[in-house]
């Protein structure tokens, strides 16, 4: 495995949040003229520079001490093995990647399969700005303001057939444009999967942007999956195919290391990775570690999906 567990001594200068951005969540709300009680419908603002502010959208699952991770970290500290295994590789190696034109195939057990241009694809749902907590299996985390559409809107338009139980996602395979795919790090193309009820959950997002801007190449342009209660490797990037099936699909990391990366990959502080604890996490921009929350803080919204399931066995 090439994933390396970061420790406080690995902090880069860009991991330290600039003073102008080091605001508490209450201060964000105050700046926007809001109260904590109004947070559910709030559109929040955070300065990206001396002259600009970007809408962050509606916060979901945030805690009182959460703050948005700065733009330079969201776009400069990434796992995207198609462009390299180091955290700063994608921002460098993906610069020349051209994510348009782009086509997404929706097929499998659906009544209305089709190949959709990206522009037509995103019309399947209402574009929204949402702020989500994110937790990487390597025990670091971020708070990211995404822009995208609910996956459920896309699936409803395709009309799942009665036998559909799972959704499989596939990343573009193009070693000429994605140099990381020239190495046998994983079985290419990258694949991921969700149970159909997970895919239909209103928190599951197909992101097309971040911080109110188009999704940068290194973040999975032009379309990536966002499932905030699962570890970050479930967030497949540069999606070209969405297939509904009656069988649990194989997923890239589960195929590569099934003892370390399960299909469900729910954030669970009581189930350690074989090589490190998941009980705590390091928020990018912070030195001290914080306790990891069950389902990454989204238990109230998603725990019912797994009622009666052994979450230690089904990791």
* Each residue's pLDDT tens digit, 23-61: 333 333 333 333 333 333 334 444 444 334 555 888 888
pLDDT tens, position by position, 155-186:
999 999 999 999 999 999 999 999 999 999 99
> Is the alpha carbon torsion for 293, 282, 139, 43 positive or negative?
positive
In this structure, of 38-47, 68-77, 145-154, 228-237, the range with the lowest mean pLDDT score is: 38-47
The CA distance from 90 to 93, in Å, is: 5
What are the tokens at 76?
């400069």
Taking Cα atoms as reference points, which of 198, 69, 186 lies closest to residue 135? Answer: 69
- What does the angle CA 231 – CA 232 – CA 234 come to, to the nearest 5 degrees? 80
Q: Is residue 307 part of a domain?
A: no
Quote the domain boundaries for residue 275.
8-302
Q: Is residue 85 part of a domain?
A: yes
Q: Which parts of the chain fold into alpha helices (H)?
A: 25-31, 71-74, 89-93, 118-121, 151-158, 196-199, 252-256, 299-302
The CA distance from 235 to 215, in Å, is: 14
Q: Does residue 22 surpass a pLDDT of 70?
A: no
Is the distance from CB of 74 to CB of 211 less than 8 angstroms?
yes
Of the chain, the percentage scoring pLDDT greater than 90 comes to 78
**Residue 232 phi, psi (nearest 5):** -60, -25
Q: Is residue 312 part of a domain?
A: no
Q: Is residue 268 part of a domain?
A: yes
191 phi-psi bin (left φ>0, alpha ψ -120 to 50, beta other): beta
> Residue length, the chain?
315
Q: Is residue 31 part of a domain?
A: yes
Q: Is residue 171 part of a domain?
A: yes
CATH of residue 159's domain is: 3.90.420.10
Is the distance from CB of 133 to CB of 281 less than 8 angstroms?
no
Total tally of structural domains belonging to the chain: 1
pLDDT at residue 314, rounded to an integer:
94
Q: Is residue 315 part of a domain?
A: no
Q: Where are the beta strands (DSSP E) in 211-288?
A: 213-214, 224-226, 239-245, 280-283
pLDDT at residue 54, rounded to an integer:
56
Strand partners, 107: 243
Q: Is residue 183 part of a domain?
A: yes
Q: Does residue 313 surpass a pLDDT of 70?
A: yes
Place of tokens 């509904």: 244
């Amino acid at each position: 495995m090439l994933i390396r567990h970061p420790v406080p001594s690995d902090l880069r200068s860009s991991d330290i949040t600039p003073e102008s951005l080091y605001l508490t969540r209450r201060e964000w709300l105050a700046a926007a003229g809001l109260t904590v009680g109004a947070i559910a419908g709030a559109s929040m603002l955070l300065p990206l520079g001396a002259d600009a502010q970007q809408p962050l959208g509606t916060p979901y699952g945030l805690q009182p001490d959460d703050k948005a991770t700065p733009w330079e970290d969201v776009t400069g500290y990434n796992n995207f093995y198609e462009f390299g295994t180091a955290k700063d590789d994608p921002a460098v190696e993906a610069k020349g990647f051209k994510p348009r034109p782009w086509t997404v195939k929706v097929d499998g057990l659906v009544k209305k399969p089709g190949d959709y241009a990206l522009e037509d694809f995103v019309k399947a749902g209402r574009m929204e700005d949402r702020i989500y907590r994110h937790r990487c299996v390597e025990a670091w985390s971020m708070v990211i303001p995404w822009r995208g559409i609910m996956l459920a809107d896309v699936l409803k338009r395709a009309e799942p057939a009665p036998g559909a139980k799972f959704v499989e996602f596939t990343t573009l395979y193009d070693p000429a444009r994605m140099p990381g795919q020239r190495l046998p790090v994983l079985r290419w193309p990258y694949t991921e999967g969700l149970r159909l009820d997970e895919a239909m959950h209103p928190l599951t997002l197909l992101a097309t942007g971040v911080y109110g801007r188009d999704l940068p190449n290194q973040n999975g342009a032009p379309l990536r999956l966002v499932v905030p209660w699962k570890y970050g490797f479930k967030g497949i990037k540069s999606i070209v195919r969405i297939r509904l099936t009656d069988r649990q699909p194989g997923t890239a990391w589960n195929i590569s290391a099934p003892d370390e990366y399960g299909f469900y990959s729910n954030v669970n502080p009581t189930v350690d990775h074989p090589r490190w604890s998941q009980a705590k996490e390091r928020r990018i921009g912070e030195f001290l570690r914080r306790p990891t929350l069950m389902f990454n803080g989204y238990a109230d919204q998603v725990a019912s999906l797994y009622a009666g399931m052994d979450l230690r066995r089904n990791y």
